[in-house]
């Protein structure tokens, strides 16, 4: 095994071009488990830990460009206002020690359906900034997950950053696990409201071969909110509406039975989380001053 220690991003891209099978390692929280247990013996480990820009983020008026290696702890602590859904999801990742090392780049690279960041990234409509010596491209999150633990990256590409629009409405994230901390998701759900666009986006984790959105549920909810003029009135959402939304979210799942939970339970739990997180986000939206609501400002 070779341990490649590029000092710069350019060097890292060159190394990945030269050794497309090299396994990138940043926080190590996925890769090292596999190596410690002999489940994976890569020819090359590509250490991204020395590339400072990966651990930083930049913001402009609308967007956060989140370095692939920004630890979850930093997201929780410093980007709660800009990326509330992802910050909530970050807080549910494993343990404090893991949150101090792991970042969204690892979640995306591994592309496990159980990665905690995925639902929040889906709901936020993120774009993955993939780069190789051939150039850089933005992959919409909706097109990123291509199969169980597979993603749209080319073999020579590395994830430089994730571009996420700053929240312009309430966001929530919820995850079911059978322990109150340090637990892999049985299933997870994220929701983001976009009052200015009168849209809703969702993300579901661990309930299908890949992280998915509940697109039908999103469309239904957007239409219902419009039809009942709820964005304007700020009135409560009727329980029946929330229930319908929840049912559509559950129907968007394609889960399996495994040692962490049954398919039926996952579908059910996604529905419950969908209903609750919709309620929480909508209550936050209603609680915001009417002027903010009209402007669609962050709540």
Partner 1 sequence: MSTHDHTPPGAATGPAGPPPRARTRKATGAPTGLTQGSRARGGIGESTLRPDGTLKVTGEFAYSSDMWHEDMIWGHILRSPVAHAEIVSIDVSGALAQAGVHAVMTYDDLPTDVRYYGLEIQDTPVLAHGRVRHHGEPVALVAADHPETARRAADRIRVEYRELPVVTDEASALAPGAPVLHPDRAPHGAHPNIVHRQPIVRGDVGAAARRADVVVTGEYTFGMQDQAFLGPESGLAVPGEDGGVDLFVATQWLHSDLRQIAPVLGLPAHKVRMTLAGVGGAFGGREDLSMQIHACLLALRTGKPVKIVYNRFESFFGHVHRHPAKLRFEHGATRDGKLTHMKCRIVLDGGAYASASPAVVGNASSLSVGPYVVDHVDIEALALYTNNPPCGAMRGFGAVQACFGYEAQMDRLAAELGMDPVEFRQRNAMEQGSLMPTGQRVDAPAPVAELLRRVQARPMPPERQWETTEGADVRQLPGGLSNTTHGEGVVRGVGYAVGMKNVGFSEGFDDYSTARVRMEVSGGEPVATVHTAMAEVGQGGVTVHAQIARTELGISRVTIQPADTGVGSAGSTSASRQTYVTGGAVRNACREVREQVLRMGRRKFGTYHRAWATAKLLLEGGKVVTDAGEALADLADVLGDEAVEAELEWRHRPTRPFDPHTGQGDGHVQYAFAAHRAVVEVDTELGLVKVVELACAQDVGKAMNPLSVVGQIQGGSVQGLGMAVMEEIVVDPVTAQVRNPSFTDYLIPTILDTPPLPVDVLELADPHAPYGLRGAGEAPTLSSTPAVLAAVRDATGLDLTHTPVRPEHLVAAALAAAPGRTARN
Partner 2 sequence: MRVHFTVNGRQHEADDVWEGESLLYVLRERMGLPGSKNACEQGECGSCTVRLDGVPVCACLVAAGQAEGREVVTVEGLAAHAGQRAQRSGGAPARSEGGQAALAPIQQAFIDAGAVQCGFCTPGLLVAADELLDRQPNPSDADIREALSGNLCRCTGYEKIMDAVRLAASRQGEAARR
Out of 101, 160, 163, 267, which residue is the one contacting partner 1 (CB under 8 A)?
Answer: 267
Applying CB under 8 A, which part among 134-142, 144-152, 197-205, 258-266 lies near partner 1? 258-266
Stretch that binds partner 1, among 65-73, 129-137, 183-191, 197-205 (CB under 8 A): 183-191
- For 241-285, the DSSP string reads HHHHHHHHHHHT-----BTTB-HHHHHHHHHHHHHHHHHHHHHHH
Asked if 163 interacts with partner 1 (CB under 8 A), we say no
CA distances from 251 to 172, 233, 245, 281 (A): 20, 29, 10, 21
The minimum distance between CB 184 and partner 1, in angstroms, equals 6
Instruction: Tell whether residue 91 is a contact of partner 1 (CB under 8 A).
Output: yes
Which of 3, 61, 135, 178 is in the footprint of partner 1 by CB under 8 A?
Answer: 178
Tell me the backbone φ, ψ of residue 250, rounded to 5 degrees: -60, -40
Interacting residues toward partner 2 by CB under 8 A: 1-3, 5, 25, 27-29, 31-33, 35-37, 41, 45, 47, 49, 94-98, 100-101, 180-182
Smallest distance from partner 1 to CB 176, Å: 6
Number of helices and strands (H, E) in the chain? Answer: 12, 13
The smaller minimum CB distance to partner 2, of residues 27 and 85, is found at 27
The binder of partner 1 chosen from 13, 22, 176, 193 (CB under 8 A): 176
User: In the structure encoding, which two tokens stand for residue 47, read together?
Assistant: 């250490």
Task: Report the distance separating Cα 92 and Cα 179, nearest Å.
Answer: 11
Q: Which pairs with CB-CB distance under 8 Å and at least 24 residues apart come from 183-187?
A: 184/114, 184/260, 185/92, 185/114, 185/116, 186/260, 186/261, 186/265, 186/266, 186/269, 187/253, 187/255, 187/261, 187/266, 187/269, 187/270, 187/273
Closer to partner 1 by CB, 99 or 160: give it: 99
Residue 180 CA to chain centroid, in angstroms? 20
The residue among 78 and 233 lying less far from partner 2, judged by its C-beta, is: 78
CB of 295 to partner 1, least distance (A): 24
If binding is defined by CB under 8 A, does position 264 make contact with partner 1? yes
Bridge partners of residue 129, in order along the sequence? 138, 161
Q: Is 135 in the site for partner 1 (CB under 8 A)?
A: no
Q: Which residues of 228-245 are buried (b: 16+ CB within 10 A; e: fewer)?
A: eebbeebeebeeebbebb
% helix, strand, coil for the chain, step of 5: 40, 20, 40
Torsion angles phi and psi, residue 275, rounded to 5: -65, -45
Q: How far is the CB of 65 from partner 2 (least distance, A)?
A: 23
With binding defined as CB under 8 A, does residue 3 bind partner 1? no
Provide the minimum distance between the beta carbon of 168 and partner 1 in the complex, in angstroms, as a whole number. 21
Q: Report the partner that residue 264 touches, choosing among partner 1, partner 2, none (CB closer than 5 to 8 A by kind).
A: partner 1
Q: What is the Cα–Cα distance from 165 to 194, expressed in whole angstroms?
A: 11
Which one of the spans 122-130, 151-159, 234-242, 272-280 is the region binding partner 1 (CB under 8 A)? 272-280
- For partner 2, the closer of residues 2 and 226 by Cβ is 2
Summarize as ranges the residues that interact with partner 1 (CB under 8 A): 36-38, 41, 88, 91-92, 172-186, 247, 250-251, 255, 257, 259-265, 267-269, 272-273, 276, 279-280
């Amino acid at each position: 095994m070779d341990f490649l220690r590029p000092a710069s991003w350019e060097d890292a891209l060159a190394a990945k071009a030269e050794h497309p099978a090299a396994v990138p390692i940043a926080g190590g929280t996925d890769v090292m488990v596999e190596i410690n247990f002999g489940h994976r013996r890569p020819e090359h480990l590509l250490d991204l830990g020395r590339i400072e820009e990966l651990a930083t983020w930049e913001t402009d008026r609308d967007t956060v460009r989140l370095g692939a290696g920004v630890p979850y702890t930093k997201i929780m602590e410093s980007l709660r206002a800009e990326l509330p859904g992802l910050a909530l999801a970050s807080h549910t990742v494993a343990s404090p020690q893991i949150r101090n090392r792991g970042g969204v780049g690892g979640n995306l690279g591994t592309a496990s359906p159980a990665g905690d960041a995925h639902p929040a990234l889906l709901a936020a409509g993120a774009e993955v900034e993939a780069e190789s010596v051939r150039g850089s491209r933005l992959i919409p999150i909706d097109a990123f997950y291509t199969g169980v633990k597979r993603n749209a990256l080319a073999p020579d590409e590395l994830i430089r950053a994730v571009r996420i629009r700053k929240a312009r409405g309430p966001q929530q994230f919820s995850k079911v696990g059978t322990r109150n901390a340090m637990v892999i998701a049985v299933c997870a759900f994220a929701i983001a409201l976009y009052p200015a666009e009168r849209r809703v986006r969702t993300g579901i984790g661990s309930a299908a071969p890949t992280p998915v959105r509940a697109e039908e549920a999103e469309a239904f909810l957007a239409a219902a909110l419009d039809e009942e003029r709820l964005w304007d009135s700020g009135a409560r959402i009727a329980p029946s509406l929330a229930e319908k939304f929840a049912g559509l979210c559950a129907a968007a799942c394609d889960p399996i039975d495994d040692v962490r939970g049954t398919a039926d339970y996952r579908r059910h739990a996604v529905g419950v989380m969908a209903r609750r997180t919709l309620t929480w986000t909508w209550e936050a939206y209603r609680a915001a001053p009417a002027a903010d609501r009209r402007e669609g400002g962050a709540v």
